[in-house]
Amino acid sequence: MAHASVMSGCSRRDAASPDQPRRGDESLLLFSLPYERLATFLYNNRRQLPMDLQRKLFIKKMSREQASSGAEDLQRYSSEAKDELTPLRPPSPPMRNSYSSDSIDSMVSLPTWEDFFEKRSLLRRGDDTFRVYYTEPKSAESPVFVFHHGAGSSALSFALLASSLVKGFEKDTDGKKNGCGIMAFDCRGHGETRVMEKDYKLDSLIEDAIFVIQTFREMANARSNSIFLIGHSLGGAVLTGSCYRLVNEFGVDVKGLGMLDIVEDTAVHSLQGMHTYLSNLPKSFGSLQSAIDWHLKTGLIRNKTSAEVSVPSYFKRLDSGRYVWRIDLSQTAEYWNTWFVGLSKQFVSAPTSKLLILAGTDSLDRELMIGQMQGKYQLVVFQDSGHFIQEDVPKKTALTLIDFWKRNDKKVVVIRSTWGAKK
């Protein structure tokens, strides 16, 4: 019905205008529009047009005029990754100031970082320390994947993805010889990282990321390795900004930049309701198991194994025995306006190959629509994931990153797109 109302509204207006097609002529006229005008039409009507229709319109446009680019066909992933999600679909419980399913911490054995990474270290910069988890590259031919988490999360949100990547390379014909290196770190204010200055401006987060990446490259003897920067949510904005400086100022061989479920337009609008969201979060939990259960029941994380390793890193234990959040995100509010403005344009023009992975609930903004139509980045959409893509579907994400590596690292044979590529 939403589709019909948008089109019928157009048909009542001037039929000579290409942005207002007559009923029955919508598809023909829309496909004939230049990239920017089609993107503008889709963007202006994004609230009325179903996501599937938006995607069909610009993908069909691309397939006609730029057959070598386009969204990834994910059917080939389903057989390998179909079993990775725990079927959790209960209604979200009301949020409270505290939450407890038991009064003391249960003695359940939870997975630890050692089950997913080879090593961990503290990198020092003056009085600051940054916690990093990593698996060293086997050789100079091994690509290194650098992961940056989003606000309120931690490096351990990438734990399952890290192990899935290592296993994926071991099974891959091109990847098994040299494997891959992996590094994820806690950004300031999160996890086990300790930074004296309470400054959360995007530029400060970028400075931190560059320090950690450069220090890790020296420590792991990875100065000549190909680097792939992969950021989730706010981490995508941090690594997009870092990419320019790493390439242009430091000469780092950044072969790819990936963002997980972050779109500028959506992010900027979501910040308007952030204070209300944060005020409704439980302020404490009676045990780590209670915190894990809450994340699963609310659907914030849909993968039980990932929640068991990541969620404990979000909390600290008080003398009373209760667990509270390590970071109060409301204290970062004055910096929110620096995080996402201009992100889409910066991402599309980044000096490397680019990948955007979205959960099925999101839509592209105008800059991303135009960039996608022009083949400036690879788009992948997972319909069976929530916001925490790396946690909900780690195997699918790993397979996508391995494909991304093959397409863009000169050290391996580039594979063809699964559809529409020019010969």
Q: Which of 77-81, 271-275, 418-422 has the highest mean pLDDT?
A: 271-275
The predicted-structure confidence for 95-111, as pLDDT tens digits, reads as follows 444 444 443 444 468 99
Q: Which of 145, 61, 110, 150 is nearest to 370 (CA)?
A: 61
Structural domains in the chain plus CATH codes: 2-65 (no CATH), 75-408 (3.40.50.1820)
pLDDT of residue 15: 41
The predicted-structure confidence for 12-67, as pLDDT tens digits, reads as follows 334 444 444 444 445 545 555 555 565 566 556 655 655 555 555 555 554 444 44
The predicted-structure confidence for 316-328, as pLDDT tens digits, reads as follows 999 999 999 999 9
Q: Is 3 a catalytic residue?
A: no
Q: Which residue has the higher pLDDT, 360 or 402?
A: 402
Q: Which residue has the higher pLDDT, 270 or 132?
A: 132
**What is the pLDDT confidence band of residue 173, given thresholds at 50, 70 and 90?**
confident
For the stretch 362-368, contacts whose Cβ atoms lie closer than 8 Å and that sit 24 or more positions apart, written own/partner, are: 362/261, 362/263, 362/266, 363/46, 363/51, 363/54, 363/263, 363/266, 364/54, 364/263, 365/43, 365/263, 365/264, 365/265, 365/266, 366/39, 366/40, 366/43, 366/265, 367/264, 368/263, 368/264, 368/344
Catalytically annotated residue among 233, 284, 287, 306: 233
**Range in 41-50, 239-248, 293-302 the model is least confident about:** 41-50
Catalytically annotated residue among 261, 365, 403, 409: 261
pLDDT of residue 30: 52
Q: Is 261 a catalytic residue?
A: yes
How far, in whole angstroms, is CA 37 from its chain's centroid? Answer: 28
The rounded percent of the chain whose pLDDT value lies above 70 is 71
User: CA–CA separation, 136 vs 169, rounded Å?
Assistant: 14
Structure token digits, residue 68: 């070598």
- Which residue, chain included where needed, has tokens 């609008």? 269
**In the predicted model, what is the mean pLDDT of residues 273-289?**
94
Catalytically annotated residue among 164, 226, 387, 409: 387
86 burial (CB, 10 Å; 0-12 / 13-18 / 19+) is: middle
pTM, two decimal places = 0.77
Is the confidence at residue 296, as pLDDT, over 90?
A: yes
pLDDT of residue 179: 95
**Range in 61-65, 277-281, 319-323, 408-412 the model is least confident about:** 61-65
**What is the pLDDT confidence band of residue 139, given thresholds at 50, 70 and 90?**
very high
pLDDT of residue 100: 45
The rounded percent of the chain whose pLDDT value lies above 90 is 67
Q: Is 98 a catalytic residue?
A: no
Is the confidence at residue 408, as pLDDT, over 70?
A: yes
- Which residue, chain included where needed, has tokens 């839509």? 363
DSSP H or E run through 211: helix 202-219
Q: Directed axis angle between helix 35-44 and helix 366-373, to 10°?
A: 140
The predicted-structure confidence for 201-238, as pLDDT tens digits, reads as follows 999 999 999 999 999 999 999 999 999 999 999 999 99
Average pLDDT of the chain is 82
Q: For residues 88 and 391, is the Cβ–Cβ distance under 8 A?
A: no
Structure token digits, residue 59: 């993908």
